[in-house]
Amino acid sequence: MTRTNDERAAIDIAAAAGELLLDHRKSLGENDGDVATFKRRGRSAQSEFIVAELARRFPADAVLSEEGADDLARLAADRVWIVDPLDGTREYGEAGRSDWAVHVALTENGVLTTGAVAMPALAVTYSSSDDRTERDAATPVRVVVSRTRRPEPVMRMADSMGAELIEMGSAGAKAMAVVSGEADIYAHAGGQYEWDSAAPVAVARAAGLHVSRIDGSELRYNQENPWLPDLLICRPELAPKALEDWADDRDTDAPRTTRSREHSHHA
> pTM for this one?
0.91
Domain around 243: 142-258
34 is in an annotated binding site: no
Q: What are phi and psi of 107, to 5 degrees?
A: -110, 140
Domain count, the chain: 2
Asked if residue 245 and residue 156 are part of one domain, the reply reads yes
Asked if residue 91 and residue 148 are part of one domain, the reply reads no
Asked if residue 95 and residue 170 are part of one domain, the reply reads no
Helix (H) or strand (E) holding 139: none
> Are the CB atoms for 245 and 161 separated by under 8 Å?
yes
pLDDT of residue 29 exceeding 80: no
Instruction: Read off the pLDDT of residues 136-151 as tens digits, 9 standing for 90 and up.
Output: 777 899 999 998 888 8
248 is in an annotated binding site: no
Asked if residue 114 and residue 204 are part of one domain, the reply reads no
Q: What is the mean pLDDT of residues 83-97?
A: 92
70 is in an annotated binding site: no
Share of the chain above pLDDT 90, in %: 73
Instruction: Read off the pLDDT of residues 177-218 as tens digits, 9 standing for 90 and up.
Output: 999 999 999 999 989 999 999 999 999 999 999 999 999 999
Q: How far apart are CA 267 and CA 264, in angstroms?
A: 8
Instruction: Read off the pLDDT of residues 211-243 as tens digits, 9 standing for 90 and up.
Output: 999 999 999 999 999 999 999 999 999 999 999
Asked if residue 171 and residue 102 are part of one domain, the reply reads no
66 is in an annotated binding site: yes
84 is in an annotated binding site: yes
Asked if residue 14 and residue 64 are part of one domain, the reply reads yes
**Of residues 55, 74, 54, the one with CA closest to residue 226:** 74
Instruction: Read off the pLDDT of residues 239-258 as tens digits, 9 standing for 90 and up.
Output: 999 999 988 876 665 444 33
Asked if residue 122 and residue 189 are part of one domain, the reply reads no
Q: What is the mean pLDDT of residues 161-186?
A: 96
Of the pLDDT bands very low, low, confident and very high (cuts 50, 70, 90), residue 165 is very high
* Residue 229, in any domain of the structure: yes
Asked if residue 89 and residue 150 are part of one domain, the reply reads no
Asked if residue 171 and residue 107 are part of one domain, the reply reads no
Task: Give the other-Cβ count within 10 Å of 62's Cβ.
Answer: 20
Average pLDDT along the chain:
89
- Return the CATH number at 121: 3.30.540.10
Asked if residue 175 and residue 224 are part of one domain, the reply reads yes
* Residue 265, in any domain of the structure: no
Residue 27's SS3 state is coil
Asked if residue 123 and residue 31 are part of one domain, the reply reads yes
**Of residues 60, 85, 62, the one with CA closest to residue 72:** 62
Asked if residue 161 and residue 73 are part of one domain, the reply reads no
